[in-house]
Amino acid sequence: MKTRIEHDLLGNKEVPMDAYYGVQTLRAIENFAGISGYTIGMFPNYVKALAMVKWAAAKANFELGLIPADITNAITAACEEIIDGKLADQFPVDMVQGGAGTSTNMNINEVVANRALELLGHQKGEYEFCHPNNHVNLSQSTNDAYPTSFHLAIILTNKEVVAEIKLLVDSFRRKAKEFEHVLKMGRTQLQDAVPMTLGQEFEAYAVTLEENIERLNAAAKLFLVENMGATAIGTGINSEPEYAEICARELRIISGEEFVLAPNLIAATPDTGACVSYSSELKRFCVQLSKVCNDLRLLSSGPRCGLNEINLPPMQPGSSIMPGKVNPVIPEVVNQVCFRVIGNDTTVMMAAEAGQLELNVMEPVIVYALFNSMQMLTKVMDRLRILCIDGITANVDRCKDMVMNSIGIVTALNPTLGYENSSRIAKRALTENRSVYDLVLEEKLLTKEELDNVLRPELMIAPKKFYKKK
């Protein structure tokens, strides 16, 4: 393999000739390879965000007369290629790294510089014409470029998460409409409660998940506060007074997002509060999504010895020893992803707390945890919708039979018969293994016509005027 020689503070190293990254990225590969198993390049929105920040910085530096037009144009052109998805394989640094993100920042600096060199008619590594630090990283530090980049990446990725939630909600809502006339027994504490429809149950799932959209979007807006121009610790050393505001303007232009400069850059530089808030909302969503999947597994349990009210699409054989067994594998994998996201939230919380003085060096694991959560959630919601929810069918007769044979329908008689009579009927039904319906008729508490009227399905699933026996 052909190589070129590059040098840094620690000396010379051979870098693959065709690599757009340079010596500092190579050292990061050697130091951190395989720690998480996830590289920067595995998160396209992150790579895009890094390039957008470098684009904005180059534009600001040019406006201030700090870099000439030809170098600016080459840097921004290189950034635009990366934004368009090119050179994605040139970001091999592991997401979890020491150095507070310096390896990530140098990875983008080197890739942009070397591609800009090519556009200028030079060879990779000829940094005297366009330097990763002197030109691409001009007026910046890892400590402002890195957090601003992942802020933007989270905003971009949140849109994908929310889009998947909307699709999932729509799927549940279609099922709610399909099942709106399927009478079934509701349950509390896993015991028979009162009748409802399967449509009501699925609409409740849709509403439960849908309410998280607004909360996630609100939390994502916290990332619109950026600290470009803070440089090392927020004092702005090595940047010009106008740079921060110009860079913020250019960042708004390239990203289309309404970024604002933090009012206090020293406070903003180590602050990871937005990460804590957003991670908490992801956790909240996963707690609710996991509960919904628990319900789907219960409702489809059986098929002979469980609730068996719904059928999940059969996806694969369920046992290496039990013929005919089919497991609810899609809800199960969603549960597991939710557990991972909840665990990632703990990681974010601990890493945010571990910040010290003017910097939080634990930001890389925060970024990895958040992107891992969002990526897994986006993928698994797609699987849940397509492979499970869209194909659910109802066992209509089974649902109705359980309602009519349930002790729970006695609750619907409570306003008419009174609590004492209803309790006695319920106890007899349970003890004698008989239906509430038959016992009410046997004791002549209501006529058949009166009983059928009280127990009409449409009257048991919504508020109604009491029927009092005269």
**Kind and range of the H or E run holding 184:** strand 183-188
363-387 and 329-353 helices cross at what angle (nearest 10)?
Answer: 160
pLDDT computed for residue 468 by the predictor: 62
Alpha carbon distances (Å) from 214 to 115, 163, 259: 40, 12, 19
pLDDT computed for residue 437 by the predictor: 87
Residues 6+ apart with CB under 8 A from 48: 82, 83, 85, 153, 156
pLDDT, block means (10 residues), the chain with 470 residues:
90 94 96 95 97 98 98 98 97 96 97 98 96 97 97 98 98 98 93 92 98 98 97 96 97 97 96 97 98 98 93 86 87 98 98 95 97 98 98 96 85 88 91 90 91 78 68
Q: Which residues pair with 70 in a beta bridge?
A: none
pLDDT computed for residue 66 by the predictor: 98
Structure tokens of 45?
A: 């929105």
Residue indicated by tokens 């600016």: 72
pLDDT computed for residue 466 by the predictor: 65
pLDDT computed for residue 469 by the predictor: 60
pLDDT computed for residue 281 by the predictor: 98
Count CA within 13 A, CB hemisphere, residue 193.
Answer: 9
Structure tokens of 184?
A: 């079934």
User: In terms of C-beta density within 10 A (0-12 exposed, 13-18 middle, 19 or more buried), how is residue 32 classed?
Assistant: buried
Structure tokens of 395?
A: 């066992």
CA 299 – CA 110 distance, rounded (Å): 55
Q: Are 152 and 274 in contact (CB under 8 A)?
A: no
pLDDT computed for residue 352 by the predictor: 97
CA 469 – CA 346 distance, rounded (Å): 58
44-63 and 243-255 helices cross at what angle (nearest 10)?
Answer: 140
- Closest by alpha carbon to 163, among 324, 385, 334? 385
Q: Are 49 and 36 in contact (CB under 8 A)?
A: no
CA 361 – CA 454 distance, rounded (Å): 66
CA 376 – CA 373 distance, rounded (Å): 5
Of the residues 149, 277, 290, 319, which is catalytic?
A: 319
Q: Are 169 and 155 in contact (CB under 8 A)?
A: no
pLDDT computed for residue 311 by the predictor: 96
pLDDT computed for residue 404 by the predictor: 83
3-state secondary structure of 99: coil
- Closest by alpha carbon to 220, among 91, 95, 84, 45? 45
Domains assigned to the chain: 3-138 (1.10.275.10), 145-222+266-396 (1.20.200.10), 405-460 (1.10.40.30)
Q: Catalytic annotation on 255?
A: no
- Closest by alpha carbon to 219, among 278, 286, 162, 262? 278
Q: Are 408 and 192 in contact (CB under 8 A)?
A: yes
